Structure 1
Amino acid sequence: MSHDHHHHHQVQGKNLLFSIVLNLVITVAQVIGGILSGSLALMSDALHNFSDVLSLVFSYAANKVSKKKSSVNQTFGYKRAELIAAFVNAMTLIIVALFLIYGATERFFNPHKIASGLVIWLSILGIVVNGLSVIMLKNDADKNLNMKSAYLHLFTDMLASVAVLVGGLLMKYFQWYWVDSVLTMLIALYLIIVGFDLLKKSTQMLMLFTPVHIDINDIISEVHKISGVHKLHHIHVWNLNDDELHLEAHLDCLEDIKMSEFNEIVHQMEHVLLDKFQINHINIQPEFNKEEASKDFIVQD
């Protein structure tokens, strides 16, 4: 049996830790400001920020745990910890959104006078703090689902603060207090959309589904072009985490070849699968004239 693996982007947690501190500050400020001003949008932004603090802490812990070494009891280490964090963070986005919709619906039919000046200044503070955090996490978010979940929490917070600022200005100059509820509802709907997308992606990875960009038939077609290959079957392709895309399969050879010749076939497969499909870890079981009940491409083992 042969295997090969390559590793890619290493996520650093220091930017995440700094974002946690910043969000703790803004959460406390918005809770106090929301109580004093009577703004539901500001309180909802504070609630969202608080959920972000918890999510960021979870993401930071998962990032640290995922770097722990493998052992005889944890042969893959804790590499999937970040997928669990992304899944939980996606769930919190949706749950927070449902709470916001409930509160906004109640407030819409019973609007309150709101101290708009305080809302405006605290929303500006939220934009600055979350905007800074978003910039710090952008690079890691493009390469890691856990970091993307943290990034999305912060990005939606920044958008929420922009919405709260617009609402504060409308309340200050036009006394449109119903805007507070409408903006809260829009923020919540956006949270549901991004949360569901993240939940779907993390669930697919946790369930070991074939990644959406991978077509098994294309893999078979490319591998079968390699000299000496008869049939690739019993194929499984899955994400261990964001960095590692695995393939395991049985490979029927045309002839009863030496191990050194099989190694050359696998070496060619490694290049093809990495270059064309970004598969960076393969595990191949060699076979020649082996009798099996089924040699289908996909087999439930």
Structure 2
Amino acid sequence: MSHSHDSSHRHSHPDLKGRNLIISILLNILITVSQVIGGLISGSLSLLSDALHNFSDVMSLIVSYIANLLSKKQASDRKTFGYKRAEIIAAFVNAATLMVVALILIKEAVERFFDPQEIESDLVIWLSLLGVVANGFSVLLLKKDADSNMNMKSAYLHLLTDMMASVAVLVGGLLMKYYQYYWVDPTLTLAIALYLIYMGYDLLKDSTRVLMLFTPDTIQVQRIVKDIEKITSVKNVHHVHIWQLNEDEVHFEAHVDFNEDIRLSEFDNILGEIEEVVYQKFGINHVNIQPEFDKPDSKQIIVQD
């Protein structure tokens, strides 16, 4: 059995700026406290819902920060993969909290529709402006890392949706101030909640796929098998498993049946060809092959262990 792990060119470890996460956490604590006080004074449900979302931002950013720290810890004999999945778990938790917060907001908005209340719009306007500026700054801080990391993307989405929610609350505050459209408050709350569900669903689905060891959507198992079977001496490829460990690592393991009883040195050469094929065509950077010759086992591509 052989295993490749060429970190010289097959791994990318982006610098996840913990400093930016800390700044974002402090800004969101400031926003949350301000909006809770302002929401209670003004009677604005949309402002309180925005504060609740900001509180979920604080928690998600803390989770992301801890996961970022854990992911850098070294592997050991008790933790052979280290904490490489910490950030995937953080992404899952953050996406799930987006959905929970959304359901709470929907409930509150429906109740307010049947019991509309007058809102102190000036306070709503100023505090929503604070939310737009602070969250906008945080979004800019995390945007670069969000492109390459699921954990950072989850934190980025929390902040992006909250910035947009603050914009919506600002518009609502202006409408209530100048036109007394108080129904706008629960309407905006409902819109914010639906948008949270829309944004959180894909991230929840993607992180679940990784945690469940599903084959990445971009990889076709049948194509990999056919490409490997084109290599000289390879008779059959079966018992295939493909999974994504984290943002950087995709693992492939399989049993390979050979036409002849080859020497170990010959197998090493063929293994190099297999590694090159699966990396260049499918981005797989960890390969684990069990060589076989006339072994009486199942030759199906997918075998239930």
Task: Answer yes or no: is 1:299 the counterpart of 2:268.
Answer: no
Which structure 1 residue ranges, 4+ long, deviate > 6 Å from structure 2? none
CA distance in 1, matches of 2:135, 2:284: 35
2:80 corresponds, among 64, 75, 93, to: 75
**1:248-296: CA deviation from partner (whole Å, max 9, x where unpaired):** 111112222222221111111112111111111111111122221x111
Task: Answer yes or no: is 1:7 the counterpart of 2:7.
Answer: no
> Number of residues paired by the alignment?
300
Task: Answer yes or no: is 1:239 the counterpart of 2:244.
Answer: yes
CA distance in 2, matches of 1:271, 1:125: 52
Shift of 1:108: 1.4
* Paired position in structure 1 for 2:139: 134
Task: Answer yes or no: is 1:277 the counterpart of 2:282.
Answer: yes
Matched letter for residue 152 of structure 2: M
Partner SS state of residue 283, structure 1: strand
CA distance in 2, matches of 1:9, 1:223: 29
CA distance in 1, matches of 2:179, 2:231: 71
CA distance in 1, matches of 2:108, 2:165: 15
CA distance in 2, matches of 1:22, 1:4: 44
CA distance in 1, matches of 2:43, 2:69: 39
Matched letter for residue 33 of structure 2: V
1:178 corresponds, among 168, 177, 183, to: 183
Shift of 1:125: 1.3
2:39 corresponds, among 30, 34, 40, to: 34
Partner SS state of residue 72, structure 2: coil
Write the mapping of 1:78-93 to structure 2, written as runs, cut at 5 A. 78-93=83-98
CA contact under 8 A between 1:9 and 1:143: conserved in structure 2? no
Shift of 1:153: 0.6
Shift of 1:9: 2.9
Write the mapping of 1:21-170 to structure 2, written as runs, cut at 5 A. 21-170=26-175
CA distance in 2, matches of 1:201, 1:297: 24
1:193 corresponds, among 184, 195, 198, to: 198
**1:15-45: CA deviation from partner (whole Å, max 9, x where unpaired):** 1121111111111111111112111101100
Unpaired runs of 5+ residues, structure 1, are none
CA distance in 1, matches of 2:17, 2:231: 39
Task: Answer yes or no: is 1:290 the counterpart of 2:295.
Answer: yes
Partner SS state of residue 271, structure 2: helix
CA distance in 2, matches of 1:272, 1:13: 36
CA distance in 1, matches of 2:39, 2:192: 16
**1:128-186: CA deviation from partner (whole Å, max 9, x where unpaired):** 11111111111221211111111111111011011101111111111101001000001
Matched letter for residue 199 of structure 1: L
Unpaired runs of 5+ residues, structure 2, are none
Matched letter for residue 134 of structure 2: V
Partner SS state of residue 78, structure 2: coil
State the percentage of identical aligned residues. Answer: 64
CA contact under 8 A between 1:45 and 1:161: conserved in structure 2? yes
CA-based RMSD: 1.2
CA distance in 2, matches of 1:65, 1:18: 19
